Structures are given as C-alpha cells and as structure tokens.
C-alpha cells in the first residue's frame, strides 16, 4: 500500500521536515526523551521493594518476582509490535496508546492490595517500552538532519539514565513513605508525559499495510517462552521440566517464525533488512552491550551493600547504594550530549566501537581492585561513559541502514535485542553469584569475591565482543564537518 500523509508515492520516503516541524521539534525532542526515561524508570522501580513484597502482599517470594517478570515479558512483545503499528498507522497515535496503557498500569499498581492486581498493573506498565523505538523514529521524521544525531543520542541515553535513577528514587520513597506512593509518582510522571506528547509531538506519515497477526502471535509465544526460561530458570531449576519445556517451545516457535516472516509479503519484522550486514552487526553489538549494561545493576548493589566482613563489601544503605549508582546516569547524559561530536568526526560506527571498548575498560578496572566505594565510583563513571557512546551510536546506525517506512519496526527490534541481552545477563550473572558464595560470621551467605570477578570478566568480554561486532558494520564515508 502506498504511504499516506504526503509521502511520495512509491518511494517510501516522507517529505523533509518543514519549517514548522523543525521549530516544533525543539519541544518534541525533550518530550520524547521523557517517554524513554519514564519507560526505563518503570523497569527498575519495584526492585528495592522485592524483599518486602511477600510481607506487604501476603504472598510468596516466587509470586512477588512476577512483578518484574511481567513487565519484562510485555515490554519484549510490545516493542516490535508497537514499532510495526507505528509505521503502519502513525507513530504519534501508537505512542500515545503506549503511554496511556503505562499510566493505567501505574494507577492499578498504586491501588493494588494483592499480588495479582500488582502483577496485572506491572504488565500494563510494560507497554511503555514502545516509547523508545517510536520516539527515535519520530525524531527521524521531524528533527532537521543537522540536529538529528544529538536528538537520537539524548533519546537513547535516557534509557540508561532512567534505569540508574529508578533505583535511588524507589529506595528513597519506599523507606520514607507507603510503597503505593511510588507508583502514584510514576503515574503522575507518565500522565504529564502523555499530555505533553499529545500537545507537542507532531503527526507523521502513515505507510499503511496489513498487520501480520500470525507473525505477532508467533513472536509473542517465542519471546515469552524463551524469556520465561531465562528469568525463571534459576527458581524452577535449569534442568526442570518447566524450564526445558519453555526453552524448547520457544526455540521451535522462533524457528517457525523466522521461516514464516521470510515468506509473508508484509511481515511484522522485515528479516531481510534485519539480516543486512549493517543492521545485523549493529544488533549483535547491541545484544552484547545490553548484557554489559545489566551487569553493573547486578554487581554494584552486592558490593555496596555487603558488610565489610566479606572482604569487599562497603556496608552502604539502600539509598546510599542508589545514589552512587545514579552517578553513572549523570555521566551518561553528559557524555550523550557530547557524543554527536564524536560521530561527526569519526562516524557512528567508530563511536560504537569506542563506547564498547570504554565499557570493557571500565569493568576491567574492577577485577584487580574489587572493593571500596571510591573504586565503584570510578567504575560507574567509566562504564556510564561507554554506555552513553554506544547507545548514541546504535539508533544512528539503524536509521542509516533502514528505509524510513520501517524505521520504527527496526528500532523496535534493536530495543528488543538490547532487552534480551539484559535478560541473558540477569540469568548468567545471577546463576554465577548464587553458585559462588561466602559466609560471614553471622551465618549469612553473600556472593564471593571470585564470583563477582567472574561477573566483571563476563562484562569485559561482552564489551570486547560488541566492539568486534561493530567492526563488521560497513565503514561509511566520513561525514562532513558542519
């Protein structure tokens, strides 16, 4: 079907931003970035509550863990689906629906008095994940070319900032107020974002087409099964029947889905475009950067909150831990604002390579120097800077290698790949830390220093692997200086 809303017929390319769009984009960019920030914040806010939820909701620890798993599963499905719908029906419209569902879920969580209601609300909150790929794609349509690199960098960096700010924000509120207030605060932030987006985010071209329902269903089954095996494997047992059944069903469905998508005329995800060298290499690097990104969220709290008797622990409170972790978020935003200069000078490919190498270097500093709050600050700063550079380069590389009619879907797949990397990190690192423990004099078990070093080494290897994958992105002509 031919694109609508003024796109040249048969080209799949919308018109360049008009003067009005260029003017409005100055307001739209921070509004869209706020959407990415809020969606990332939603993922981390319940983490400090997890130890207390069984008592607060009169439920088991296994049921309480679904407050995190439900959001992960819905976000994984919503990201590529919302991207495809945005390309077809209009990105602004789908963005508003994603934000509205996230607000509804936040209100449901704020009213929850049982685990079932809280899990349902957390599932709805996962719909907010679509804000990132849709926001990146709207920027491509609305922001003038000379400002696009900076806008994409800021938007992408908000994911890391939201993740790091979410922990201290949640820890502080949960220690000084009723836990429901936490979700009311998120609902208020989401509602403000929704109203601002409705007012300031412009509409764009609609490319039409048929929605691939079978492809969406197949992707949903594959993702849910595979992510369930990763996120619940430790609790269920890695060789238990539920884990193996989920993994095998997910793998079989994924194999069918790939074959189906390659044969259908209007697929949910254009795998031929996704299999092109620039997109495939970028997504491979994204997977590994997503892995490395999540390691810092797992390792730092263990080290910071462990008692000094472990030989490495700093003995910090939950709030102190969150504040130190937020340093990485501040650094990420500062470096994100400078990253377009790096891409202008050397290109997005080089920016991704540099960012991945900085991530590896940051984690490498921790292997011989395990322990001490000062060292963790250095690690957080270096890793945060590397993540900012990598996140800034990824959407630029995807945008450059993807037709405009598929931008949202391609960014949705890239965001999904990043989430899968984080899920793999959660499963692998959690298993390592659970298997390698040390016991203090009071009989409490903590991850051993050796286990933490293995986790750091895994992040180093992920950073190096991401740099190697980025080298397979074809070298573009060096961009001209502005």
Task: Report pLDDT digits (tens) over 143-185.
Answer: 887 788 778 877 877 777 777 777 777 777 777 778 889 899 9
Q: For residue 387, count other CB atoms closer than 10 A to its CB.
A: 34
For residue 203, what pLDDT is reported?
77
Mean pLDDT across the chain, nearest whole number? 83
Element (H, E) at 327: helix 318-346
Closest CA to 267 of 139, 410, 397: 410
Tell me: pLDDT of 2 over 60: no
For residue 371, what pLDDT is reported?
59
What separation, in Å, do the N-terminal and C-terminal C-alpha atoms of the chain show? 37
The residues, any chain, with a CB within 8 Å of residue 170's CB and separated by 6 or more, are 44, 45, 46, 47, 48, 49, 182, 322
**In this structure, what token pair is assigned to residue 387?**
């993540």
Highest mean pLDDT among 59-73, 308-322, 360-374: 59-73
For residue 476, what pLDDT is reported?
63
- Separation CA 204–CA 152 (nearest Å): 17
Tell me: pLDDT of 24 over 60: no
Mean pLDDT of 434-447: 82
pLDDT confidence bin for 467, thresholds 50/70/90: very high
Tell me: pLDDT of 395 over 90: no
Beta bridge partners of 439: 445
- Separation CA 49–CA 321 (nearest Å): 14
For residue 20, what pLDDT is reported?
40
Report if pTM > 0.85. no
Q: What is the pLDDT of residues 177-227, one digit of tens each?
A: 788 898 999 999 999 999 999 999 887 777 777 888 898 999 899 988 988
Instruction: Identify the weakest region by mean pLDDT among 6-10, 213-217, 386-390, 413-417.
Output: 6-10
For residue 373, what pLDDT is reported?
60
The Cα angle at residue 324 between residues 439 and 298, in degrees rounded to 5: 45
Encode burial over 6-40: b for 16+ CB neighbours within 10 A, e otherwise.
Answer: ebeeeeeebeebeeebeebbeebbbbbbbbbbbbb
Tell me: pLDDT of 246 over 90: yes
For residue 122, what pLDDT is reported?
93
Q: What is the pLDDT of residues 93-132, one digit of tens each?
A: 999 999 999 999 999 999 998 989 999 999 999 999 888 8
Tell me: pLDDT of 430 over 70: yes
- Separation CA 450–CA 437 (nearest Å): 9
| Alpha helices (H) along 90-130 | 91-111, 115-125
Q: Chain-centre distance of CA 337, in angstroms? A: 19
- Separation CA 378–CA 363 (nearest Å): 10
CA dist 137 → 178, 297, 358 (Å): 38, 28, 27
Q: Chain-centre distance of CA 81, in angstroms? A: 16
Where does residue 307 rank: exposed (0-12), middle (13-18), buried (19+ CB within 10 A)?
A: middle
For residue 5, what pLDDT is reported?
40
If you compute the radius of gyration of the chain from its CA atoms, what whole number of angstroms results? 22
Q: What is the pLDDT of residues 44-76, one digit of tens each?
A: 888 778 778 888 888 887 788 888 888 888 888
Between residues 14 and 174, the one the model is more confident about: 174
Closest CA to 48 of 216, 154, 167, 131: 167
Q: For residue 41, count other CB atoms closer than 10 A to its CB.
A: 26
For residue 207, what pLDDT is reported?
73
For residue 3, what pLDDT is reported?
42
- Separation CA 420–CA 97 (nearest Å): 24
- Separation CA 187–CA 100 (nearest Å): 10
Q: What is the pLDDT of residues 75-90, one digit of tens each?
A: 888 888 888 888 888 8
Tell me: pLDDT of 258 over 70: yes
- Separation CA 102–CA 110 (nearest Å): 12
């Amino acid at each position: 079907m031919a694109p609508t809303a003024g796109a040249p017929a048969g080209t799949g390319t919308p018109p360049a931003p008009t003067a009005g769009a260029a003017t409005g984009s100055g307001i739209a960019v921070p509004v869209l970035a706020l959407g990415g920030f809020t969606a990332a914040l939603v993922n981390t806010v319940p983490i400090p509550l997890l130890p207390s939820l069984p008592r607060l909701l009169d439920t088991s620890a296994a049921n309480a863990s679904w407050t995190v798993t439900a959001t992960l599963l819905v976000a994984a499905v919503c990201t590529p689906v919302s991207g495809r719908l945005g390309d077809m029906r209009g990105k602004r419209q789908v963005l508003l629906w994603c934000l509205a569902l996230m607000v509804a879920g936040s209100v449901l969580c704020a009213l929850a008095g049982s685990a079932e209601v809280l899990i349902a609300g957390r599932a709805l909150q996962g719909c907010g994940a679509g804000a990132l790929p849709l926001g990146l794609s709207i920027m491509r349509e609305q922001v003038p070319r000379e400002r696009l690199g900076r806008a994409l960098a800021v938007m992408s960096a908000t994911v890391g900032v939201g993740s790091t700010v979410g922990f201290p924000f949640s820890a502080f509120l949960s220690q000084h107020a009723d836990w429901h207030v936490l979700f009311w605060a998120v609902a208020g932030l989401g509602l403000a974002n929704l109203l601002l987006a409705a007012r300031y985010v412009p509409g764009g071209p609609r490319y039409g087409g048929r929605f691939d329902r079978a492809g969406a269903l197949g992707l949903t089954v594959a993702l849910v099964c595979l992510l369930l095996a990763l996120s619940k494997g430790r609790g269920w047992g890695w060789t238990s029947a539920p884990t193996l059944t989920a993994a095998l069903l997910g793998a079989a469905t994924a194999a069918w889905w790939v074959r189906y998508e390659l044969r259908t005329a209007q697929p949910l995800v254009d795998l031929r475009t996704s299999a092109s060298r620039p997109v495939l290499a970028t997504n491979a690097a994204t997977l590994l950067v997503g892995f490395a990104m999540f390691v810092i969220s797992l390792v730092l709290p263990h080290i910071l909150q462990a008692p000094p008797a472990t030989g490495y622990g700093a003995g910090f409170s939950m709030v102190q831990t969150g504040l130190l972790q937020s340093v990485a978020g501040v650094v990420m935003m500062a470096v994100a604002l400078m990253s377009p200069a790096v891409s202008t000078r050397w290109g997005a490919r080089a920016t991704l390579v540099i960012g991945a190498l900085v991530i590896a270097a940051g984690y490498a500093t921790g292997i011989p120097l395990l322990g001490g709050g000062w060292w963790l600050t250095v690690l957080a700063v270096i890793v945060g800077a590397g993540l900012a550079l990598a996140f800034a380069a990824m959407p630029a590389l995807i945008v450059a290698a993807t037709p405009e009619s598929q931008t949202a879907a391609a960014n949705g797949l890239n965001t999904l790949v990043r989430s899968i990397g984080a899920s793999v990190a959660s499963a692998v690192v959690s298993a390592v830390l659970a298997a390698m423990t040390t016991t203090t004099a009071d009989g409490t078990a903590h991850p051993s220093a050796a286990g933490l070093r293995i986790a750091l080494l895994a992040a180093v290897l992920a950073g190096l692997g991401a740099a190697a994958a980025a080298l397979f992105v074809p070298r573009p002509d060096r961009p001209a200086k502005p």
